[in-house]
């Protein structure tokens, strides 16, 4: 259940309090044991859970040995950061229903647990569906499971989110 601060955030954003629970989304508390991993492609420091960071490093090294470039767009995001992402879109006039097809409501993002990574590659703009035509995506499809990563937001996923071929989660 959401605490009083989280309920206030939901009210401010116009998200029904029971939104995530009614959709069957798993709730994620902000991970408090994070490790610094690398700068993302925008030069901003990123963090992950310890086990995810180890698996990510191994994944990147293995891909690189096969000529595949994997770049981090984002890793850990706090509840409040997720709320701010949504607020920024609201401020641009985007409807909350449309936002929630793309962004998980705060508390329901795998990024809170430090186990999700948005991945890009050289030659493809980040966070677009065309990533699924890249050699990096094809490599991930074949090899990510060996490093305990999977892609939860497939086409027609049960969570109701858009297809996100760039979003991969460590299942450890």
- The domains of the chain, with CATH numbers, are 37-76+114-172 (3.30.1380.10), 79-111 (no CATH)
Name the pLDDT band for 1 (thresholds 50, 70, 90): confident
Q: How far apart are CA 50 and CA 34, in angstroms?
A: 6
What does the block give as tokens for 109? 């993002």
What φ, ψ does residue 44 adopt, rounded to 5°? -95, 130
Residue 147 CB coordination number (10 Å): 22
Run of H or E including 36: strand 34-39
Closest CA to 114 of 162, 150, 75: 75
What is the token pair recorded at 21? 């629970």
Identify the band that residue 61 occupies on the pLDDT scale cut at 50, 70 and 90. Answer: very high
Mean pLDDT score, 148-170: 96
Per-residue pLDDT tens digits for 81-108: 999 999 999 999 999 999 999 999 999 9
Q: What is the C-alpha to C-alpha distance for residues 147 and 48, in angstroms, rounded to an integer?
A: 15
Nearest to 140 by CA among 73, 76, 68, 74: 68
The answer to whether the pTM exceeds 0.85 is: yes
DSSP string, 48-95: EEHHHHHHHHHHHHHHHHTT---EEEE----HHHHHHHHHHHHHTT--
């Amino acid at each position: 259940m959401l605490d009083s601060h989280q309920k206030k955030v939901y009210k401010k954003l116009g998200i029904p309090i029971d939104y995530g629970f009614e959709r069957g989304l798993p709730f994620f508390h902000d991970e408090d044991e994070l490790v610094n991993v690398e700068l993302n492609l925008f030069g901003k420091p990123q963090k992950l859970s310890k086990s995810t960071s180890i698996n990510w490093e191994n994944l990147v090294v293995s891909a690189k040995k096969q000529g595949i470039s994997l770049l981090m767009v984002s890793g850990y995001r706090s509840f409040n950061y997720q709320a701010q992402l949504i607020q920024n879109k609201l401020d641009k006039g985007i409807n909350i229903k449309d936002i929630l097809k793309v962004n998980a409501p705060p508390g329901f993002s795998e990024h809170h647990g430090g186990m999700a990574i948005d991945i890009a590659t050289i030659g493809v703009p980040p966070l677009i569906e065309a990533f699924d035509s890249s050699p990096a995506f094809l490599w991930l499809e074949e090899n990510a499971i060996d490093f305990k990563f999977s892609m939860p937001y497939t086409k027609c996923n049960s969570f109701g989110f858009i297809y996100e071929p760039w979003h991969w989660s460590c299942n450890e």
